[in-house]
Structure 1
Amino acid sequence: MLSSCVLTVIALLVAIVTFAESRSLARGFPEDIHWVSYEDGLAQGKAQHKKIMVLIHSSWCTACSDLKKEISENKDTKEIVKLSRHFVMVNVEDEEEPYDKAVSLDGRYTPRIVFLYPDGRPMSIDNRLEHPNYKYYYDRPEDILSAMKRALKL
């Protein structure tokens, strides 16, 4: 009896810590999205055979702050949250940005979003029509939503 109570308490603590960690990874982006770290995202993408959306931003970046505000006030946010369930959603900020060519295809600017196949290879999804010099720069929720839909079709 005592051992089952201890196991239940441990399971609850693990669930609480996991939930709190995913919430803290939102960093001003929608809390309804299950965010993970880059390393966890790559592992989950492979294990779950899911495409990966990597959001890279900086705490000091004005454009990143503007994007957070845009997303919090935009009608497309509910759809972004809904589509996020079909991806492993990675949220990387500041020093967490990996030195990985897969997510630095045309530079290391912020904010940028890169879509990866489950095996970690970059997908050919970008925002070059809006920003030809910074193909992975997204500053509008509707462009993020469009890119997510295109990624799901590949």
Structure 2
Amino acid sequence: MPTSRPPCQPCVNMIILYYIITLLLVRSSARSCSSSSRLWLQAFHLNCCVDLMLVVSTIHVIFTLRQLQENGKPLMVIHHLDECPYSQALKKAFAASDEIQTMAEDNFIMLNVMHETVDKNLSPDGTYVPRIIFIDPSLTVRADITSRYKNRLYTYEPEDIPLLIENMKTAKQLLKSEL
């Protein structure tokens, strides 16, 4: 059975180049259009930008999953938003912890997700931020590693940093016994 591979770098470059050319053509043609056509072209331009972000995000996820399987390290997926005060507070606490920084660098593949995904595996109990989900190299979401909250199983707050450290250790230990 053939194995699926992420697209090669020249293919990725061609996809991105296609979207950039499309965006440039839309922008240049919008200058000479009527107002109703201009609105349609602006909406098309916005959709192309969103599509381009999704394409780049999808390619990034594919390469991350490939790296996950090759390295044998667990994946730590961090869903957050720049404008969310809870995400910002957790980010500061995360960055201030030397232990988390060391473990993240040495023992995990990190994936920051700033846009909601359509994959239900990455939002098992709903879409909220911030949330942190661990995935093992067999691509199994570690539903057994949760936070202290019953209504948002994968969210952490700055005061939950000790629990997050323990959960990172758990993800690391179970990985070794599962392989």
Contact map agreement 1:38 1:92 (CA 8 A) in 2: no
1:1-154 mapped onto 2 (5 Å cutoff): 37-73=60-96, 77-84=97-104, 85-93=106-114, 95=115, 97-123=116-142, 124-127=144-147, 130-139=148-157, 140-154=160-174
Report the more deviating stretch, 143-152 or 103-112: 143-152
Which deviations, in whole Å up to 9, do the C-alpha atoms of 1:25-83 show, x marking residues without a partner? xxxxxxxxxxxx4333211111112111101101121110111222344xxx1111111
Q: TM-score, normalised by structure 1?
A: 0.66
In 2, the alpha carbon distance for the partners of 1:125 and 1:88 equals 17
Q: What RMSD, in angstroms, separates the aligned Cα atoms of the two structures?
A: 1.5
In 2, the alpha carbon distance for the partners of 1:69 and 1:82 equals 15
Relative CO higher for 1 or 2, CA cutoff 8 Å, sep ≥ 6? 1
- Percent identity reads 32
**Which is strand-richer, 1 or 2?**
1
SS class of match (1:79): helix
Matched length: 111
Report the residue type matching 1:149 in the other structure.
K
Contact map agreement 1:58 1:110 (CA 8 A) in 2: yes
**Moved segments of 4+, more than 3 Å:** none
Distance 1:57 1:150, change over 3 A: same
In 2, the alpha carbon distance for the partners of 1:66 and 1:83 equals 20
Report the residue type matching 2:127 in the other structure.
R
Q: Which of the pair has more CA radius of gyration? A: 2
Contact map agreement 1:42 1:119 (CA 8 A) in 2: no
SS class of match (1:41): helix
**Which is helix-richer, 1 or 2?**
2
Report the residue type matching 1:138 in the other structure.
Y
In 2, the alpha carbon distance for the partners of 1:38 and 1:67 equals 23
